[in-house]
């Protein structure tokens, strides 16, 4: 029997989605086949401090891990030391800024370690909703009309009023206001009039210096899971039918009864195939590898399809869609985790066959 590989599962992070990461990491750690893999748990605090954690995985889910001092090791280096040298591949279970925006992926590249998921460029591009939408448009994938707002556009009352005018001139109400570099619906608001638009902009700017104001459409939210490297495949789409007006952060991760999940989504077969095709096309356009969850809007009236965003490190919580969609396709949770690990090794080996000199 071949020797077990050691998987370094990284969780937490200096991010507004810290709590989501803990829930996802708890499931990933429990889902890894312990007969095939050993696990090194690497926690990052909200302040950005790294620890090796050797305690009870249950304490990760509840955030008690950080107080489990007897099981925390802080005096180690990501670039040296016996502990990290024994890690064969890193599985970053991180969401949002500093986790899926390419920064920590760059660190793994500098460490010369294989890792699960998209590389630096795809991660950073998909984290920036504005840049991602420009790329999707360029390859013919439809996206919702928007207005881009910078923090400097609303820093005075006069500028704020001018920005409100610009939004109203270009988009009808309702509008959705989104921080460009946040995920999991953090900081997103629905604006129905000028007052609520103003309030939404002032809320969003607390999370990011770039804000997207998008045309609101009467749409269903459809998601597709993408898996693979050079030859990615798309799952059948799923739909989250939220009991709330829109599927916000609380409904996604913190509310047990905030939604109903339909896999496959109850939509026409032709639309299903078009969405799956768009998902793979988007994944390839940004240079994706490993995994992504690609989210779409399906206009309830016109049946038009719009790509909303591509998530390069989708959630793995109990109610997260990515694993559920692959389970419907016949790939169970543990097998999916193993496949993602294999894809990380595969990409690393391909890159290391390339030459850097003529």
Query: In this structure, are 111 and 39 located in the same domain?
Result: yes
Q: Which pLDDT score is estimated for 306?
A: 98
Contacts of 337 (CB under 8 A, 6+ apart): 28, 31, 32, 33, 91
Query: In this structure, are 282 and 135 located in the same domain?
Result: yes
Check whether 215 is labelled as a binding-site residue: yes
Query: In this structure, are 69 and 210 located in the same domain?
Result: no
Check whether 9 is labelled as a binding-site residue: no
Mark which of 162, 185, 215 sits at the end of a domain: 215
Longest pairwise C-alpha distance within the chain = 70
Is position 228 within any domain? yes
Decide if 15 is catalytic. Answer: no
Catalytic residue among 123, 235, 320, 338: 320
Domain with 242 in it: what CATH number?
Answer: 3.30.470.20
Catalytic residue among 24, 184, 235, 259: 184
- In this prediction the pTM is 0.91
In angstroms, rounded to a whole number, what is the distance separating the alpha carbons of residues 42 and 49?
10
Query: In this structure, are 137 and 265 located in the same domain?
Result: yes
Query: In this structure, are 131 and 257 located in the same domain?
Result: yes
213-231 in b/e form (b: 16+ CB < 10 A) is bbbbbebbbbbbbbbbeee
Check whether 139 is labelled as a binding-site residue: no
Tens-of-pLDDT digits for all 358 residues of the chain? Answer: 468 999 999 999 998 889 999 999 999 999 999 999 999 999 999 999 999 999 999 999 999 999 999 999 986 677 667 778 899 999 999 998 889 999 999 999 999 999 999 999 999 999 999 999 999 999 999 999 999 999 999 999 999 999 999 999 999 999 999 999 876 567 899 999 999 999 999 999 998 999 999 999 999 999 999 999 999 999 999 998 876 655 555 555 444 555 788 999 999 999 999 999 999 999 999 999 999 999 999 999 999 999 999 999 999 988 889 999 999 999 999 999 999 999 999 999 999 888 666 6
Our CA dihedral for 249, 236, 325, 37, rounded to 10 degrees, sits at: -130
Q: Which pLDDT score is estimated for 240?
A: 84
Q: Which two tokens stand for residue 125?
A: 């591009």
Domain around 82: 5-115
Check whether 309 is labelled as a binding-site residue: yes
Q: Provide the strand spans (E) within 1-136.
A: 5-12, 37-44, 50-53, 72-73, 89-92
Q: Which pLDDT score is estimated for 250?
A: 54
Query: In this structure, are 203 and 227 located in the same domain?
Result: no
Domain with 96 in it: what CATH number?
Answer: 3.40.50.20
CA proximity to 96, closest of 259, 208, 195: 208
Q: Which pLDDT score is estimated for 96?
A: 84
Query: In this structure, are 134 and 274 located in the same domain?
Result: yes
Mark which of 215, 250, 272 sits at the end of a domain: 215
Mark which of 169, 186, 215 sits at the end of a domain: 215
Is position 120 within any domain? no
Is position 284 within any domain? yes
DSSP 152: G
Q: How many domains does the chain have?
A: 3
Decide if 289 is catalytic. Answer: no
Q: Which two tokens stand for residue 180?
A: 């460009």
Check whether 221 is labelled as a binding-site residue: yes
Is position 357 within any domain? no
Domain with 166 in it: what CATH number?
Answer: 3.30.1490.20
Is position 358 within any domain? no
Query: In this structure, are 17 and 74 located in the same domain?
Result: yes
Check whether 84 is labelled as a binding-site residue: no
Q: Which pLDDT score is estimated for 1?
A: 44
Query: In this structure, are 267 and 131 located in the same domain?
Result: yes
Strand partners, 292: 226
Catalytic residue among 15, 17, 124, 239: 17
141-172 in b/e form (b: 16+ CB < 10 A) is bebbebbebeeebbeeeeebeebbeebbeebe
Query: In this structure, are 130 and 248 located in the same domain?
Result: yes
Query: In this structure, are 132 and 251 located in the same domain?
Result: yes
Decide if 255 is catalytic. Answer: no
Is position 121 within any domain? no
In angstroms, rounded to a whole number, what is the distance separating the alpha carbons of residues 24 and 27?
5
Check whether 176 is labelled as a binding-site residue: yes
Query: In this structure, are 59 and 132 located in the same domain?
Result: no
**Do 185 and 129 touch, CB atoms closer than 8 A?**
no
Check whether 185 is labelled as a binding-site residue: yes
């Amino acid at each position: 029997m071949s020797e077990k590989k050691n998987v370094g599962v990284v969780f937490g992070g200096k991010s507004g989605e810290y709590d989501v990461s803990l829930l996802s990491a708890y499931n990933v750690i429990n889902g890894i086949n312990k007969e095939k893999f050993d696990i090194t748990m690497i926690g990052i605090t909200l302040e950005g401090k790294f620890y090796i954690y050797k305690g009870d995985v249950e304490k990760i889910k509840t955030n008690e891990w950080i107080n489990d001092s007897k099981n925390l090791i802080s005096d180690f280096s990501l670039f040296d030391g016996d502990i990290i040298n024994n890690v064969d591949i890193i599985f970053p279970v991180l969401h949002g800024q500093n986790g899926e925006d390419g920064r920590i992926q760059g660190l793994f590249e500098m460490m010369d370690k294989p890792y699960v998921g998209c590389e630096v460029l795809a991660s950073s591009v998909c984290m920036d909703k504005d840049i991602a939408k420009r790329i999707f448009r360029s390859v013919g994938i439809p996206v919702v009309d928007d207005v881009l707002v910078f923090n400097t556009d609303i820093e005075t009352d006069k500028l704020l009023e001018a920005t409100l005018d610009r939004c109203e001139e270009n988009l009808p109400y309702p509008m959705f206001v989104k921080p460009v570099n946040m995920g999991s619906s953090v900081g997103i608001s629905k604006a129905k009039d000028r007052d609520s638009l103003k309030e939404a902009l002032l809320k969003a700017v607390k999370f990011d210096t770039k804000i997207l104001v998008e045309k609101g459409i009467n749409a269903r939210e459809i998601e597709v899971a993408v898996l693979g490297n050079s030859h990615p495949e798309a799952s059948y789409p799923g739909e989250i039918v939220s009991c709330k007006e829109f599927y916000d952060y609380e409904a996604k991760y913190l509310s047990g009864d905030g939604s109903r999940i339909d896999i496959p989504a109850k939509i026409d077969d032709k639309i299903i195939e078009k969405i799956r095709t768009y998902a793979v096309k988007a994944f390839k356009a940004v240079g994706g590898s490993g995994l992504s969850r690609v989210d779409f809007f399906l206009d309830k009236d016109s049946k038009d399809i719009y790509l909303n965003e591509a998530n390069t490190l989708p959630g793995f919580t109990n109610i997260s869609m990515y694993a559920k969609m692959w389970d419907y396709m016949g790939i169970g949770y543990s097998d999916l985790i193993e496949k993602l690990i294999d894809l990380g090794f595969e990409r690393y080996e391909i890159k290391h066959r390339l030459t850097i000199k003529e």
